[in-house]
Amino acid sequence: MHRHQFAMGAAVLALLTGFPAQSQSYPSKPVRLIVPFSAGSTTDISARIIITQLAPLLGQPVFIENRAGADGSIGIMAAKNAPADGYTLVSAGWTNLTVNPVVMKDLPYDPARDFKPVSGFTRGMIGLAVAGNSKFKNVADLIAAAKGSSKQLDFGTFSAGYRLAMEWLATAAGVHFAHVPYKTPGQMNGDLMGNQIDAVLDALPSLTPMLKAGKLRLIAVLGDKRHAEFADVPMMKESGFPDISIYGWSAVYVRTETPNDITERLVDAMQKVLAAQSTQDFARGIGSELIVGGPAVIRQFQMDQYQNFQRVAGLAGIKPE
């Protein structure tokens, strides 16, 4: 074998085996976790719980870098462009991994090819809400009004995922809603409280303070079971739409090229994070569920969600823009 052929073969072998010689000391410096959304968002709050538990397990500081914008694409691209050495993690989820590929044209990253899962974290229920003084007491009232009025009902959302959920309901019910897009949930829910729009879809942790204050009314949840804190509110499955179930979720990913032994170290650490009582208490406190299971489970969950949104977009006639 020629010398250059041997060198090339050794390089390929090192790639396939995950650079073990270079990975033995990992981590030897601080690790960053990119959050593709703003500080204070549900994903950001969850990520801060992760780093509190993860840092002592790795023996190095773990810090958050918020890179918000473009429905999570800016943060994902920052992670894609970082070295694949395990020192850059990204808290990704339903928006940038399963919704953007369906609604965004010429997406600059491939969720399945560019990133591999380390661990799931939380999934949170989505609620269908109206104003506290709305005439709509349940989903049947909302659909009946949509069918019986010459004016379309105004339906607010602030991200593509919620819009897909809205279109799923409209398609299943055989109605049309006037979509009112917002940049922030605060602005959207403020307009709902002021009766400027008729209904919204939002994460329950975001809606809960206004629901408890009576400023908004929850008429359905989009989960596979009723929410413990709002046990009297029916699921969409109980409201005439047995197929509708959508969760907002987040997970920890690294670049696909990250060495296997480093990835395994992170997987082991994250499983301990999920098992910690403080993590379980946090998830319960915000009304979310922990997504347990290894990388293969998370990858399958991701692909199932993606295929579901593809189907919904096709039914609603939504094309990438």
pLDDT per position as a tens digit, 108-132: 999 999 999 999 999 889 999 999 9
Last residue of a domain, one of 204, 238, 272: 238
Mean pLDDT of 94-103: 92
Instruction: Based on the fold, state whether residues 78 and 223 are members of the same structural domain.
Output: no
**Which structural domain range is residue 132 located in?**
125-238
Q: What is the pLDDT of residues 212-229, one digit of tens each?
A: 999 999 999 999 999 988
User: Does the residue 113 lie in any domain?
Assistant: yes
Instruction: Based on the fold, state whether residues 231 and 280 are members of the same structural domain.
Output: no
CATH at residue 44: 3.40.190.150
- Helical H segments across the chain, by residue range: 3-17, 20-23, 42-58, 73-80, 94, 100-103, 139-148, 160-173, 185-193, 204-212, 260-275, 277-285, 295-316
User: Does the residue 22 lie in any domain?
Assistant: no
Q: What's residue 103's pLDDT?
A: 92
Q: What's residue 23's pLDDT?
A: 61
CB 126 within 8 A of CB 201: yes
Q: What is the pTM of this model?
A: 0.81
Paired residues of 235 in beta bridges: 221
Rounded CA gap, 233 and 240, in Å? 14
CB 87 within 8 A of CB 27: yes
Instruction: Based on the fold, state whether residues 35 and 94 are members of the same structural domain.
Output: yes
The mean pLDDT value of the chain amounts to: 89
